[in-house]
Structure 1
Amino acid sequence: MKNSKKLLIICLSVVLALSFALAGCKKDGDGGSEGEKGSNGQKNVTISAFISRAGTNPTKDNRIYQKIKEEFGVEFKFEYVVGEIGERVGTMTSGGEYPDLIGVQSNEANQFIDAGAFIPLEKYINDAENYPNLN
């Protein structure tokens, strides 16, 4: 149980890092959307996040998200499930339009796995020279 939590945290960290790294590497019309320029002089990038359980939505004045926007030019657009998650997952997978980040409960992840929504991260982890402890 302890190892699976550690692995989950590592995988989520890698996915988040890859999202930040790849957010600017997009084809026309694909990936996160670009917005105004941030304090770093680069265009802000919006990362979409799908959350399966509605909770406390971050407010506009949330200091953590403000700092992330200021420092990295990254904003988050959260989408929470309203109604049945299976319907939303079906719509998402049939259209092939996925958010940049997906946060689901372990029992809900199977729907995404069965649809082929997750990509293998091994090649990124194995090639991560700067992160030898991920292996």
Structure 2
Amino acid sequence: MKNTAVEEPAVLSEIDSANNLVELFLKRADEKGDQPFLGAKREGGWQTISWRETAEQVCLLAENLRGLGLKDGDRVCLVSENRPEWCIADLAIMAAGCVTVPAYITNTERDHVHILDNSGARAVIVSTEKLLRPL
């Protein structure tokens, strides 16, 4: 049995020394490499995404968000079910220096318009074409 009391200070120190959540995630991804990080049940079985693959996807999406012209502090609406891609998109939005504006997948078109108008979101990430229709 591990003595978590000994490990806790190191973890807390690591958290305290990180400048932001993305930095902490990327550091952990470097350490964990090909170990599973996120998983989803697809095609009848569980499929996982490694820490490394997740970090690569986060960085690629962040670069693309910046390539679209988004700048630090810009808001990006995220409409998605609970799935690995939600986590990847959220981390990428933060990595791009932007702010996530989460929206429920059950929102009506009127709800989405209200959120988009009041949040000032400059972009929207939607997980499926079906969820795009009410936007």
Normalising by structure 2, we get a TM-score of 0.32
With the length of structure 1 as denominator, give the TM-score of the two structures.
0.32
Higher helix share: 2
